[in-house]
Amino acid sequence: MLIFYIVVTLLFSVRSYGEICPQPLKIAVAESWPSSVLENLARYHQPFKEIGCTVEYQKVPLSRSLQMVSNGKLDGDTYRIAGLEKDYPNLIRVATPMARFGYYLYKKRKASLNIDQPKSLAGSKTCITFGNRLRRQISNELKLQVLEASNTSQCLKMLMTDRVDIFIGPRPEVEDSAFWNSKDDYTRAEKPYVSTNLYIYLNDRHREVAKQLEKILGKYFITDN
């Protein structure tokens, strides 16, 4: 009788997990992210797999991805700061963060700006990618002049051609070797301007998925400060 109970319980568990994800989840990936960020993101197939879900990453513009999730055209989005659910009616945030990254100030190595004293940078020019809320917040705090571009590659080209003075971002993204001829091209501040948790967002029809992910996502947490 005990063996029968255990088997039934296991079968019910598997069925329950399968029912929360009857189809693969389409998760947004910013088309501007370089290979190093995508490699980090690949590790998150596993927590979804643990709860009986499969994931298909789909490249979309960063500026549109959250709206697409809220509208139900996509199932989720990743590497986003907290609080965005307030702006989208059908968006929920998985409470357990997926990562914590430091956002550094970068400049050309020969530039005279002192990026270790952020308050001295008021009036300097920076580039932000469309839809990046955190970079916008930092730019406002530091009173920077802002130019916008579609992706990080375009922003860093602006930096190297002196169209902007500084760029803001996490090391795994900004220091991808695809963007630079050598590490001598740039220098970063000694400490991050801010360190922030980054989260997975889902359409609210996936509340059970979010609930299950919250229990296990801590095992996959990464940080790079």
CATH number of 102-195: 3.40.190.10
CATH number of 2-99+197-224: 3.40.190.10
Distance CA 98, CA 104 (A): 19
How much is the pTM? Answer: 0.85
Whole-angstrom CA distances from 159 to 121, 156, 163, 168 are: 15, 5, 6, 11
- Of 130, 36, 128, 26, nearest to 78 by C-alpha is 26
CB 63 within 8 A of CB 149: no
The string of pLDDT tens digits covering residues 28-42 is 988 878 878 888 888
Distance CA 114, CA 111 (A): 9
76 Cβ neighbours under 8 A, 6+ residues apart: 25, 26, 27, 28, 69, 200, 201, 202, 203, 206
Distance CA 106, CA 58 (A): 29
pLDDT of amino acid 3: 43
pLDDT of amino acid 225: 63
Which H or E element spans position 2? helix 2-20
pLDDT of amino acid 131: 82
pLDDT of amino acid 6: 37
Q: Would you say the CATH fold of 102-195 matches that of 2-99+197-224?
A: yes
Domain boundaries of the chain, sorted by first residue: 2-99+197-224, 102-195
Stretches where the chain sits below pLDDT 50 are 1-18
